[in-house]
C-alpha cells in the first residue's frame, strides 16, 4: 500500500524539527495554554445535511449549524482538527464527519464524543498536489477523490485499503473531482468521465475502465458532479448538463445555453440546478429560473423545496420568497491579519487589506467580532484599511490605502484626515489625493506621528499634536527615496524609528529634540548603514521594557542596547549585537510580554519565545507541535493585563494565554489557589497571583520559620511546587505566604492548607 500511495516521511527535515522541538517542547507546553482560533468561516467550500444539522467546511475550519435552534459548533485546529484549508466533507454510516483538506490531511470527527482521528496517508505521500476534493460513502468504505486519483479508506480502522491512479487512457494521477456509485463506479475528472466496466474487479488496472469525453457526447470534459436523475446518470459540467444513455452522453434536453453548472440535486421528478448566477428547476423537459442572486456565489444545494438552503461564499443561505437569510458563526470578516493592535478596553483589532479586497477593520471584544466598514457604519470612508494602531483616549488609528487615516472607537464614531481636507499630508505623485498611511504611533507627549507610504513632497513623517497643530518632516538621511515607508515605533527618548521596506536601505531614525517647530537641532540617521546590517532587510522592530531596540531582519535578530546613543555620539560607534540563537531566521514581527521576554514571529519558521536577553530559546511553536494554523507569522500583539498573546497568520488569528501578566500596583488582590493544596510528587503547582512588580515571597510554617523564598521576574503570577529550600516536599499543615516588593513594602499575607498524599 505504501508503494501505491508513494508515502514519503521527509526524514531529514522531520529529524531536524524533532530535535529542536524536543529541546524546547516541555517549556512550550507549560508556557502556552488555552489556544483559541479566530477564523472567518463565511466562505463555505462544501457542506452536507444530516438530520436537522448542516455541516460545512471552509478555509477557516468547519462548523455545524442546527436548523432548529440556530446553535453553532465550530471545529478548528484549537479543537483538535489538524487539517488546514478544509474543502470537502461527508458523513459515514457510523455518524462520523469526514473532513478533507487542501494539503491531504483527513480528519474524522465523532460528534457523539467529540473525538477526532487524523489520517496522514495522503498528506505524507510524495504527490505534488494532494487536495481532497470529495468523498463517497460506500458501505464501510470511504472512496476519496483526490488531486491524483482515488484512495479508499475503511471507516472503522481508518486504514487505506486500496487506491486507483489510472483510469483507462486518461493520464496517470489525473485530478478526480467527484465520484458516484450505481452498480458501477463513476469517476468525474478534469478530462472527462471514467466508468467501471461491467464485471471488472481489479479497478487498479487501467483496462477496467471505459473513458468518455466530448468525443462521446459530453458537453464538457470538466466535471463538477455526477448523480442520478430519473434512472439516468447525469453529470454537471462547466458548460452544462449531460445525460448518459446507451453508452453515450448527450446534452440534457431543454438546456441549450452553455452554463457553468455548479451543483445539481434530484428531488422526485425535478432536477434542481445552481449556476454562477441563478437557481433553476428542471422538470418535464423545461428549465425554469427560480431566482437570480447577485453577491453570493452559491456552491451546494442543501435542501430543496419552497424555502431552499444553500452553501455559498457568504455562508449558509436560506431563501424564503426569494429573500435570502444568511447564517454563519460570528467571526472576523476575512482571514487577513497583517496588522494587530489592542485598544484601551482590551479589544483586539485587525486591518483587512490595501485594495478592493479590503473589508475595513474588525475587532474582538472577548465575546464577539464587530466589523468596522462602509456597510456597518454610514459614511465610513474606506474599506481598504491597511494598518491599525492604538491612539489616545481608547481610540484607534486606522491607516487606509488611499484615503488618509481614520480615528475611531467602539462607538462607531469616526473622523477622517485626508489630503487638503484637514491634513497637510500629500499623496502619491500621480494622484496627490491618494494618501496612504502605513503606520502611526503616539509619543510621550500625546502627539500622533504618522508614516506616509509615498509622499509627493518627500515628507514621509507627519506629526499631529494634541493641540491639533501639524508638522511634516522629510527623510533627511536619504531624500531620494520616494515610496515604500512601512512601519514606525517611538522609543523612550521619543526618537522615531521607521522602515523603508523591501530593500536593505532603511532603518531610519528621527528626533526633533523637543522642538517641533525648530529644525536646526533635529537628529537623524540611517542605522542600516552600519556593517552589522550589510545587505540585510529590516522587517520589524520593537523597544522592550529596558528601552532596548530589537530589530528583526531577513537574516537574524539584532539588539541596540542604548538607542539614545545615536543622538549623542558618532553613528559609526553604535554597538549592534546579533542574537546568536536566531541568526538564521527571517524575522517578520516581534512583541514583548510583561516579563520582558520576546515573542518572535518568523517567515515560515513558526513562533519562538526567547528570554529577556535573547540568549535562551524558551519555547518554539509550529504546525507540527502546536495548534498553529501556519508557520508564516504576520503580526503579533500582547495583552499584558491578561497575559494573552495574539498571533496573526496568513490564514487566521490565534491566541493563547501565558503566565506573563502585568503586575498589580499593590497586593490587594494577592491570593493562592487551589486551597487546600493537595501535594504529591507528581502534582500541580500552587498558583500565586495578584503580585506586584519584582515581588519577593516568603513561605513560612505555622511556627513562623521561613522554609522557602521565591522571587518573581516582574509578572503578576508565580508558582510554588510544595518544596522547601532543600528541595524536599513539605509536610501537611498550614503555611503562610508573605509577599512584598523589592524594598520590603506593601506586605501581602495569605495562608494555605497543604495536604500531603
For residue 16, which phi and psi values (nearest 5 degrees)?
A: -60, -45
Cell of 131: 487536495
Per-residue model confidence (pLDDT) at position 243:
95
Per-residue model confidence (pLDDT) at position 17:
37
Which ranges of the chain have pLDDT less than 70?
1-30, 255-256, 681-682, 713, 746
Whole-angstrom Cα distance, residue 604 to residue 293? 39
Per-residue model confidence (pLDDT) at position 713:
65
SS (HEC) of 232-280? EEEEEECCEEEEEECCEEEECCCCCCCCCCCEEEEECCEEEEECCCEEE
Helix (H) or strand (E) run with residue 652 in it: strand 652-657
Cell of 159: 486504514
Which strand ranges, in their side-by-side order, compose the sheet holding 587-592? 587-592, 598-602, 607-610, 617-621
Long-range contacts of 513-521 (CB under 8 A, 24+ apart): 516/447, 516/463, 516/465, 516/469, 516/471, 517/471, 519/473
In a 3-state reduction of DSSP, which class is residue 746? coil
Instruction: Report in angstroms the alpha-carbon separations of 548 from 247, 492, 543.
Output: 76, 9, 5
Whole-angstrom Cα distance, residue 484 to residue 506? 10
Per-residue model confidence (pLDDT) at position 381:
94
Eight-state DSSP code of residue 568: H
The residue assigned the cell 514581527 is: 589
Which strand ranges, in their side-by-side order, compose the sheet holding 44-50? 44-50, 53-58, 61-66, 72-75
Q: Where in 460-596 does DSSP place strands (E)? A: 461-464, 470-473, 485-490, 496-500, 506-511, 523-526, 538-543, 549-553, 556-560, 577-578, 587-592
Per-residue model confidence (pLDDT) at position 354:
83
Number of Cβ within 10 Å of residue 253's Cβ equals 12
What is the domain partition of the chain in residue ranges? 41-164, 671-756
**Residue from 150, 113, 109 nearest 133 by CA:** 150
Whole-angstrom Cα distance, residue 147 to residue 321? 39
Per-residue model confidence (pLDDT) at position 617:
94
Condensed to tens digits (0 to 9), the pLDDT of residues 575-586 reads: 889 998 898 899
Q: What's the distance, Cα to Cα, between the start and end of the chain in Å?
A: 51
Cell of 186: 463513476
**Residue from 249, 253, 226 nearest 237 by CA:** 226
Which strand ranges, in their side-by-side order, compose the sheet holding 323-327? 298-303, 309-312, 315-320, 323-327
Whole-angstrom Cα distance, residue 746 to residue 655? 34
The residue assigned the cell 521594557 is: 545
Give yes or no for a contact between 260 and 275, defined as CB atoms under 8 angstroms apart. Answer: yes
For residue 327, which phi and psi values (nearest 5 degrees)?
A: -135, 130
Cell of 692: 506586584
Per-residue model confidence (pLDDT) at position 19:
37
Whole-angstrom Cα distance, residue 56 to residue 64? 6
- This prediction has a pTM of 0.83
Evaluate the omega torsion of the peptide bond into residue 349 and state whether it is cis, within 30 degrees of 0.
no
Give yes or no for a contact between 647 and 654, defined as CB atoms under 8 angstroms apart. Answer: yes
Number of Cβ within 10 Å of residue 415's Cβ equals 11
**Residue from 351, 350, 344, 464 nearest 409 by CA:** 344
Give CATH for domain 41-164: 2.130.10.10
Whole-angstrom Cα distance, residue 661 to residue 593? 8
Domain at 671-756, CATH homologous superfamily = Macroglobulin (MG2) domain (2.60.40.1930)
Amino acid at each position: 500500500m505504501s508503494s501505491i500511495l508513494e508515502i514519503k516521511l521527509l526524514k531529514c527535515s522531520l529529524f531536524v524539527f524533532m530535535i529542536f522541538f524536543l529541546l524546547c517542547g516541555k517549556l512550550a507546553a507549560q508556557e502556552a495554554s488555552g489556544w483559541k482560533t479566530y477564523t472567518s468561516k463565511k466562505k463555505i467550500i462544501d457542506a452536507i445535511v444530516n438530520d436537522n444539522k448542516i455541516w460545512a467546511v471552509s478555509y477557516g475550519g468547519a462548523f455545524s449549524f442546527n436548523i432548529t435552534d440556530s446553535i453553532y459548533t465550530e471545529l478548528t485546529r484549537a479543537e483538535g482538527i489538524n487539517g488546514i484549508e478544509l474543502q470537502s466533507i461527508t458523513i459515514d454510516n457510523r455518524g462520523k464527519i469526514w473532513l478533507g483538506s487542501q494539503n491531504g490531511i483527513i480528519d474524522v470527527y465523532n460528534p457523539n464524543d467529540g473525538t477526532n482521528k487524523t489520517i496522514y496517508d495522503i498528506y505524507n505521500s510524495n504527490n505534488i498536489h494532494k487536495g481532497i476534493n470529495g468523498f463517497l460513502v460506500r458501505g464501510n468504505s470511504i472512496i476519496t477523490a483526490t488531486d491524483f486519483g482515488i484512495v479508499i479508506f475503511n471507516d472503522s480502522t481508518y486504514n487505506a485499503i486500496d487506491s486507483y491512479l489510472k483510469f483507462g487512457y486518461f493520464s496517470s494521477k489525473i485530478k478526480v473531482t467527484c465520484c458516484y456509485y450505481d452498480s458501477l463506479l463513476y469517476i468525474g475528472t478534469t478530462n472527462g468521465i471514467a466508468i467501471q466496466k461491467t464485471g471488472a474487479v481489479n479497478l487498479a488496472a487501467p483496462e477496467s475502465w471505459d473513458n468518455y469525453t466530448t468525443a462521446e457526447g459530453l458537453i464538457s470534459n470538466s466535471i463538477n458532479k455526477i448523480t442520478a436523475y430519473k434512472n439516468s446518470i447525469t453529470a454537471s459540467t462547466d458548460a452544462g448538463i449531460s445525460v448518459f444513455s446507451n453508452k453515450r452522453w448527450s446534452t440534457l434536453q431543454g438546456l441549450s445555453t452553455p452554463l457553468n453548472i455548479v451543483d445539481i440535486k434530484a428531488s422526485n421528478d425535478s432536477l434542481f440546478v445552481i449556476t454562477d448566477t441563478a437557481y433553476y428547476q428542471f422538470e418535464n423537459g423545461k428549465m425554469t429560473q427560480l431566482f437570480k442572486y447577485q453577491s453570493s456565489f452559491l456552491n451546494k444545494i442543501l435542501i430543496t423545496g419552497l424555502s431552499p438552503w444553500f452553501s455559498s461564499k457568504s455562508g449558509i443561505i436560506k431563501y424564503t420568497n426569494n429573500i435570502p437569510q444568511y447564517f454563519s458563526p460570528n467571526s472576523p470578516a476575512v482571514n487577513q491579519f497583517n496588522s494587530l493592535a489592542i485598544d484601551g478596553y482590551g479589544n483586539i483589532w485587525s486591518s483587512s487589506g490595501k485594495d478592493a479586497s479590503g473589508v475595513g477593520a474588525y475587532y474582538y471584544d472577548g465575546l464577539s467580532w464587530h466589523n468596522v466598514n462602509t456597510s456597518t457604519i454610514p459614511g465610513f470612508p474606506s474599506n481598504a484599511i491597511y494598518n491599525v494602531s492604538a491612539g489616545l483616549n481608547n481610540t484607534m488609528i486606522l491607516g487606509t490605502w488611499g484615503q488618509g487615516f481614520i480615528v475611531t472607537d467602539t462607538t462607531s464614531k469616526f473622523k477622517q484626515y485626508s489630503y487638503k481636507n484637514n491634513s497637510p499630508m500629500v499623496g502619491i505623485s500621480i494622484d496627490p489625493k491618494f494618501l496612504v498611511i502605513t503606520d502611526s504611533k503616539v509619543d510621550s507627549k500625546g502627539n500622533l506621528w504618522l508614516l506616509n507610504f509615498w509622499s509627493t513632497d518627500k515628507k514621509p513623517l507627519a506629526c499631529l499634536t494634541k493641540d491639533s497643530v501639524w508638522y511634516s518632516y522629510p527623510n533627511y538621511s536619504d531624500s531620494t527615496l520616494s515610496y515604500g515607508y512601512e512601519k514606525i515605533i517611538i522609543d523612550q527618548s521619543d526618537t522615531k524609528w521607521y522602515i523603508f521596506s523591501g530593500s536593505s536601505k532603511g532603518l531610519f531614525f528621527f528626533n526633533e529634540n523637543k522642538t517641533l517647530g525648530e529644525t536646526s537641532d533635529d537628529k537623524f540617521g540611517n542605522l542600516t548603514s552600519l556593517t552589522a546590517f550589510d545587505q540585510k532587510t529590516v522587517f520589524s522592530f520593537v523597544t522592550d521594557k529596558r528601552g532596548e531596540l530589537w530589530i528583526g531582519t531577513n537574516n537574524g535578530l539584532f539588539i541596540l542596547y542604548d538607542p539614545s546613543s545615536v543622538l549623542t555620539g558618532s553613528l559609526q560607534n553604535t554597538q549592534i549585537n546579533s542574537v546568536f540563537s536566531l541568526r538564521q531566521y527571517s524575522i517578520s514581527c516581534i512583541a514583548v510580554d510583561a516579563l520582558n521576554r520576546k515573542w518572535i514571529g518568523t517567515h515560515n519558521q513558526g513562533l519562538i519565545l526567547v528570554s529577556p536577553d535573547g540568549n535562551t530559546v524558551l519555547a518554539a511553536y509550529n504546525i507540527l507541535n502546536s495548534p498553529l494554523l501556519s508557520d508564516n507569522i504576520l503580526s503579533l500583539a500582547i495583552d499584558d493585563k491578561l497575559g494573552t498573546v495574539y498571533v496573526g497568520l496568513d490564514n487566521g488569528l490565534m491566541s493563547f494565554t501565558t503566565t506573563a501578566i502585568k503586575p498589580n500596583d499593590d497586593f490587594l488582590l494577592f491570593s493562592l489557589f487551589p486551597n487546600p493544596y493537595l501535594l504529591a510528587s507528581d502534582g500541580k503547582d500552587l498558583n500565586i497571583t495578584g503580585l506586584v512588580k519584582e515581588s519577593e515571597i516568603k513561605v513560612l510554617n505555622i511556627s513562623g520559620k521561613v522554609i522557602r523564598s521565591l522571587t518573581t521576574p516582574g509578572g503578576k503570577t508565580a508558582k510554588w511546587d510544595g518544596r522547601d529550600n532543600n528541595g524536599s516536599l513539605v509536610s501537611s499543615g498550614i503555611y503562610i505566604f508573605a509577599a512584598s516588593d523589592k524594598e520590603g513594602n506593601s506586605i501581602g499575607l495569605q495562608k494555605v492548607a497543604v495536604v500531603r498524599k
